[in-house]
Structure 1
Amino acid sequence: MENGPSPHGNTSTRYGFFCTDSDSHRCDVILAVKRATGTFSLIGCLFMLFVIWLQRRYNSLAQKMIVNLTVAAFFDSVAYVMGESHLVDSLCDFQAWWLTFFDWSALAWVCLITLNLYLNLVREIRTERFHVAYHCAAWGVPLVMSSVPLFKGLYGPAGAWCWITDEHVAWRFGIWYLPLFVLIFLMICCYAHIICVANQRMQSWFGTFNPERERRKVSLAEEIRPLKWYPFVYLLVSLFPLINRLHNAVYPRDPVFSLTLLHVLSAPLHGLANAFVFGLDSWSQLSTTGIQLALQSRLCDTTRIGEYHPARVRYTHMLDTHSDSDDEDSNVLFYSPNGP
């Protein structure tokens, strides 16, 4: 069915799908599922941000990167909660650009987290100085990838939401699906290498007990354990969208309801899946007692630090206590509140 607008604005045009007036309940199901999964992802991202704030997990560079990933996934979920697919207009273009930008941004942060872990643990390079470069890559690349289709007029109704239209199948795979699965494959290979190197180092540390060595063992395991699942999250939630888009490319006039349903069920789940992976490292600290103590620490901290009022300081030579000169008596050591 054509994706362009019709004079009557019927259900088929609004959704850009297989829907007809006699079969509009399927469109309603697709829209309801899309909004539900997008809402669950929003809740998952808000949960992650709350736990990060509660446990003060935003100090190291790796933790800050997780925060940025969560923010990108949050705004990505907003696109799926937006209203139904629109006619070809500026609002539809904005939804498509928004979705492409934050999809790419979330993927970029996952890739950069993998790269940062590789540089830290395998190459043993301190990466704090790279934080500006990370931000440029994580927001700059998505800006380019989302703006090119916008300037070329490729956006429009593309199913349950606005994206690159069916008439530009090659652009769909060139802009998103091909880079997505190449990057997922590279990340999986990178984590496999990181785990092999970490295991070799753990087995090579032997001899007398060394607290620092044991701390590094624990640190290696703790850093790798939750982060290694992020590429698999993207792989799982992207499989059905890929299958559905491949089917759309081969049979553009014959979409399958079940594939479309699986597409809208899995595609918006990045935020919720990220929250689940993040929770693997946080569930043990989220007991009722732990939450109460953390909230008390955040909201009811009784520690008070007195305010320091600086005054002018003047440094001079040591006074000669045996001198009878009145000029030298005017010198002050270190502190002169009324100095010039």
Structure 2
Amino acid sequence: MEFTNESNYFNHTGVPECSLFPTDRVKCRALLYAKTVTASLSILGSVLTLGLVVLFKKYNEHSQRMIIHLSLAALVFGVAYVIQGIPSENNAICKVQASILQFSVCACLLWIMNIAFGIYFRVVYDINIKRYEKILTFLLWTLSLIITALPFSDNAYQPAGVWCWLRNDDAWRFGLWYCWRILSIVLFGYTMIHTEITIRRRRRGTFSTSITSLTAMESEIKTLRIYPILYFIVNIFPIINRIQNAAVQLREQTGYSFTLLLLQTLFDPLFGVTLSLAYVLDGTTRSRLNKAEITDALRRWRSKPAHVSVYRVPVPSPDMNISVINTHS
């Protein structure tokens, strides 16, 4: 009777079978709850970040536009997680979830590295990537689409644990994703260390940079640098879990470690949450989160912009002036 109730529960939630742990439905239920809660929080966090950027019209700044792209990728990432419960078969819904998930994780990584390298090139080489913003935006989103399309050539999108993603194939998972994720961590570490060394040298006077411009640059860097750091922190357990998947010969949906799956399920979708927390706790944003500032921002959105009209006053001709003078003479 107890088994029947649990079976009905999973049918109600859209998971007809729990092939991950068929003898322990409690583990499947825990994974399903964890995935739903964390993904929902990620969606809410991403929407909050986007809403604050739009509310205070901060999208006019280049750094804020990069955060917009990052938040959009995190939002799609959260949506991909809640498309279905724990997958039981390789159907159309599974492939939709897998492809959206692949697209969003690629976009997140590319925009994170865009922020990291933007900081690096500005400090070390005095190159502001703002001048290349349009072409970079096109390239990063297009590259995410291309990478997402590649696995369709080999039917590589299949059930992969608590969600659908790339099947447990080292060539696909590491060649298309984890090698690049690990490489990005190494590159991020190098760029941040080199950036910090360069700033310290400039403060000691090794480079001829004014204190005012250096302080302004450091303030913007401090705002942006937190996002790559948070991204790589929440990706520690997903990387460990996928390494375990590669080390253990998984067959279909069996052989997974419940502990690693739970940790990945809890941390993987949390980037949208950490993104919103970092944005809200930033000094500039936090100072505006009060009733007066929010009311004023809403008022500016509701009010119509003032239009200034220019009227041209005709200049009298010389003949007209003479005529007027003659009339009064």
* Band of TM-score, shorter chain: 0.7 to 0.9
2:70 equivalent to 1:72? no
CA RMSD of aligned residues (A): 3.2
Distance 1:33 1:323, change over 3 A: closer
Tell me, yes or no, if the aligned pair for 1:156 and 1:162 is still in contact at 8 Å. Answer: yes
Tell me, yes or no, if the aligned pair for 2:107 and 2:141 is still in contact at 8 Å. Answer: yes
Q: Structure 1, residues 173-203: CA drift from partner, whole Å, max 9, x if none?
A: 1111110110121122112111221222222
SS at 1:163's partner residue?
strand
SS at 2:74's partner residue?
helix
Distance 1:93 1:303, change over 3 A: closer
| Cα distance in 2, alignment partners of residues 53 and 26 from structure 1 | 41
Tell me, yes or no, if the aligned pair for 1:188 and 1:231 is still in contact at 8 Å. Answer: no
Alignment of 1:138-287 (within 5 A): 138-166=140-168, 168-204=169-205, 213-251=210-248, 252-253=250-251, 254-282=255-283, 285-286=285-286
> Which residue identity is paired with 1:38?
A
Q: Structure 1, residues 145-176: CA drift from partner, whole Å, max 9, x if none?
A: 1110123210111110001112x232111111
> Which residue identity is paired with 2:166?
I
> Which residue identity is paired with 2:83?
M
Deviation of the 1:136 alpha carbon: 1.9
Deviation of the 1:285 alpha carbon: 4.6
**Residue 298 (structure 1) aligns with:** 297
| Cα distance in 2, alignment partners of residues 304 and 262 from structure 1 | 49
Tell me, yes or no, if the aligned pair for 1:109 and 1:138 is still in contact at 8 Å. Answer: yes
Tell me, yes or no, if the aligned pair for 2:15 and 2:85 is still in contact at 8 Å. Answer: no
Deviation of the 1:230 alpha carbon: 2.8
| Corresponding pairs, count | 307
Deviation of the 1:111 alpha carbon: 0.8
> Which shifted more, 230-239 or 58-67?
230-239
**Residue 50 (structure 2) aligns with:** 49
| Cα distance in 2, alignment partners of residues 206 and 147 from structure 1 | 46
- Structure 1: which 5+ residue stretches go unaligned? 1-8, 326-340
| Cα distance in 2, alignment partners of residues 112 and 60 from structure 1 | 16
SS at 1:91's partner residue?
helix
Q: Structure 1, residues 114-172: CA drift from partner, whole Å, max 9, x if none?
A: 22222323222243331122112220111111110123210111110001112x23211
| Cα distance in 1, alignment partners of residues 62 and 51 from structure 2 | 18
Deviation of the 1:205 alpha carbon: 8.6
Query: Is the helix fraction higher in 1 or 2?
Result: 2
| Cα distance in 1, alignment partners of residues 314 and 155 from structure 2 | 69
> Which shifted more, 113-122 or 190-199?
113-122
Tell me, yes or no, if the aligned pair for 2:34 and 2:266 is still in contact at 8 Å. Answer: yes
Q: TM-score, normalised by structure 1?
A: 0.79
Alignment of 1:107-146 (within 5 A): 107-146=109-148
SS at 1:84's partner residue?
coil
> Which residue identity is paired with 2:286?
L
Tell me, yes or no, if the aligned pair for 1:37 and 1:269 is still in contact at 8 Å. Answer: yes
> Which shifted more, 61-70 or 253-262?
253-262
| Cα distance in 2, alignment partners of residues 150 and 304 from structure 1 | 49
> What is the percent sequence identity of the aligned residues?
27
4+ residue runs over 6 A deviation: 9-13, 313-316, 322-325
| Cα distance in 1, alignment partners of residues 227 and 322 from structure 2 | 78
Q: Structure 1, residues 299-339: CA drift from partner, whole Å, max 9, x if none?
A: 2249776535578x7999x93348979xxxxxxxxxxxxxx
> Which shifted more, 272-281 or 184-193?
272-281
